[in-house]
């Protein structure tokens, strides 16, 4: 068996230390392992500053290579420039299938776009305050708040304060669009296909944003889809039929007919009186 065929896609993980909390490190590499191998792990910043000293213990634990960039001039971010230069060097080496850009800074929007133009997959990681331009430039964008919360549920770490979650109803428009596009003549579509397509519509779509760990649980909670298991054991779904307007009850219909008939008789009598008076 060819070992090369079994290898996961290779990713270069580039971290902007100035805009990233060291708390996400464990969850970050767990998330990356779901779709590829973090072959290169680099972090950029001025580690002589007090703000970045908390990264010291994290670097060795997760085999992250620090790239020191002294802030010689206030207002000039040498770390960002170094990260961009390294990203382009790694891109042209031809050794990587994609990049993981870890930052909440919109300055990396053009870098993400340029990497994708060259055919590389780009996964972004940042906080919920990350500007939309950077989020949409990535193939997929993961909120780091989800990484901290998920990590805390699987370890003995102290869980962080709960982030504000979206309601299941907020997911309905995007789910309806994807199901309508992928559904067959009967409207059915396999759930795994929906999950694959969702990030192509909205790069930061994540069931964890709605308080769930499985897409199937979110779909059921919306209560607007039929969901069932096929003979092959796969889940599929389709939109529930739209409810028809309730028809008037027989008694209401009769009352309306009597009322209309009464108006017609009265109108006829009024015409007769008008004719006789003439």
- Looking at the DSSP bridge assignments, the partners of residue 123 are 100, 140
The sign of the torsion formed by the CA atoms of 173, 191, 122, 59 equals positive
Tell me the pLDDT tens digit for each residue of 59-104.
999 999 999 987 665 555 888 999 999 999 999 999 999 999 999 9
Assign 156 a pLDDT band (cuts: 50, 70, 90).
Answer: very low
Q: Per mean pLDDT, which range of 108-122, 144-158, 177-191, 237-251 is the poorest?
A: 144-158
Predicted model pTM = 0.73
Tokens of 64: 């992250």
94: left (phi over 0), alpha (psi -120 to 50) or beta: left
Tell me the pLDDT tens digit for each residue of 231-249.
888 899 988 887 666 665 6
- Distance between CA atoms of residues 199 and 183, nearest Å: 17
Q: Per mean pLDDT, which range of 66-70, 183-187, 219-223 is the poorest?
A: 183-187
């Amino acid at each position: 068996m060819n070992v090369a065929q079994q290898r996961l896609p290779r990713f270069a993980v580039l971290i902007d230390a100035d805009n990233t909390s060291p708390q996400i490190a464990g969850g970050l590499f767990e998330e990356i392992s779901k779709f590829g191998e973090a072959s290169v792990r680099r972090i950029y910043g001025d580690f002589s500053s007090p703000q970045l000293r908390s990264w010291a213990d994290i670097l060795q634990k997760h085999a992250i290579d620090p790239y020191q960039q002294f802030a010689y001039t206030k207002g000039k971010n040498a770390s960002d420039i170094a990260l961009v230069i390294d990203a382009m060097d790694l891109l042209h080496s031809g050794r990587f299938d994609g990049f993981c850009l870890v930052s909440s800074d919109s300055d990396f929007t053009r870098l993400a776009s340029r990497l994708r133009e060259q055919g590389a997959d780009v996964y972004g990681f940042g906080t919920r305050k990350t500007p939309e331009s950077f989020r949409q430039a990535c193939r997929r964008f993961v909120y780091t708040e989800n990484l901290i919360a998920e990590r805390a549920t699987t370890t003995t770490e102290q869980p962080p304060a709960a982030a504000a979650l979206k309601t299941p109803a907020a997911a309905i428009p995007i789910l309806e669009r994807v199901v309508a596009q992928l559904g067959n003549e009967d409207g059915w579509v396999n759930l795994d296909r929906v999950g694959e397509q969702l990030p192509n519509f909205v790069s930061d779509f994540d069931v964890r944003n709605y308080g769930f760990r499985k897409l199937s649980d979110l779909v059921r909670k919306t209560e607007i889809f039929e969901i069932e298991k096929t003979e092959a054991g796969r889940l599929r779904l389709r939109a529930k039929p739209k409810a028809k307007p309730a028809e008037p009850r027989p008694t209401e219909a009769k009352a309306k007919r009597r009322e209309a008939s009464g108006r017609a008789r009265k109108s006829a009598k009024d015409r007769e009186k008008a004719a006789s008076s003439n």
